[in-house]
Structure 1
Amino acid sequence: MKGYVQVYTGNGKGKTTASLGLSVRAAGAGLKVFIGQFMKMGDYSEMKALKKFSDLITIEQYGAGRFVKGKPSPEEIKSSREGLERIKAVVASGEYDLVIIEEGNVAVMVGLFSVQELLDIIDSKPEHMELVITGRGADLKIIEKADLVTEMKEIKHYYQKGIQARVGIEK
């Protein structure tokens, strides 16, 4: 089976949810999945759920656990650099059928690594591997390189009424 490059971007809700849904679908078909989450650290609900698929889904986090606003902290940069090297090794190994780079677009946008480094990962992807990159603000070069691009567009969100992220729904 030929693998493609998918990008989920935009300001609307659902990018992570879509990629995690795809990971469950892939695991259900017996495919081996690797998820690398940039700029995240913590026991999110998806982490707990995906542990139930630990024989087929590997999930790792590369972040300091704090929102990156402005210049990233040295801790965030270090964790992201280590994560990027790990993703490169995972892709090069060819042992996974689906690799998801969660918040990869945002990591580029805030300067944790370059768009060229993300493009190099796309270029090094084995033929059989499906590669998904999520996060708002996808660089035009990533969009051009991808085979499928979905933009999540926010039309209306209850967050605008002051409703915080809820466990099991947004986090």
Structure 2
Amino acid sequence: MQVYTGNGKGKTTAAIGLALRAAGAGHRIFFGQFVKKRRCGEHKALERFSDLITVQQFGTGFIRNERANEKAAAAAVEGFMAAAAAILSEEYDVVILDEINIALHKKMIDMRELLLLLDQKPARTEVVLTGRHAPAALIRRADLVTEMKLVKHYMDAGVPGRKGIEW
């Protein structure tokens, strides 16, 4: 199991890179997004591999408050159920749960349920969990943890996000 976390840019991008590498090797990938709802450039790229990569979004958009609203929480639960089905089906070689750490942090998904699911994961299935605020229990459980650290970002100076670069 892999965890990509931290306050820096690149967690989803790293997961997409792994998905493309796996698709290039002929693996089947499930890519579930738990917070994002907007269809961005990466979705168009992943669609080119739709025979190998399944993309599903369960987010309602970025959550600004400490607690998620009911609609966002329900979407996260729906996403968790789809993720569990993907992991347990053995249909996918790689299961990426993008921004699931945010859903855990906002208490939209129960940590114990995720740990129980990971206990049932088939040995050959690689699971990747992304998002800020990775819980210590996931970090301990993971085989690989990468922390993206923000050192400097041009958006802090007022430069807006750019199509094809940030979204």
TM-score by length of 2: 0.96
How many angstroms apart in 2 are the aligned matches of 1:6 and 1:15? 11
Q: Give the match's secondary structure for 1:53.
A: coil
Number of equivalences = 167
Please state whether the residue corresponding to 2:160 is helix, strand or coil: coil
Percentage identity across paired residues of the two chains? 48
Pick the aligned partner of 2:71 from 72, 75, 92.
75
What is the rounded CA distance, in whole Å, between the counterparts of 2:160 and 2:58 in structure 1? 24
Residue-by-residue CA offset, 1:107-162 (whole Å, 9 max, x unaligned): 10011112212212221210101100000110000000000000011111112101
Q: Does 1:90 align with 2:59?
A: no
Aligned equivalent of 2:11: 15
What RMSD over aligned residues (CA atoms) do the two structures have, in Å? 1.0
Quote the residue 1:57 is aligned against: 53
Alignment of 1:44 onto 2:40: yes
Structure 2: stretches of 5+ with no match in the other structure? none
Report deviation, 1:66.
4.1
Alignment of 1:22-171 (within 5 A): 22-171=18-167
1:158–1:76 distance in 2 versus 1, CA, 3 Å: same
CA distance in 1, matches of 2:83, 2:70: 20
Which aligned segments of 4 or more residues in structure 1 are displaced greater than 6 angstroms?
Answer: none
Distance 1:169 1:125, change over 3 A: same
Taking structure 1 as the reference length, what is the TM-score of the superposition?
0.94
Checking the alignment, whether the CA contact within 8 Å between 1:106 and 1:137 is kept in structure 2 is yes
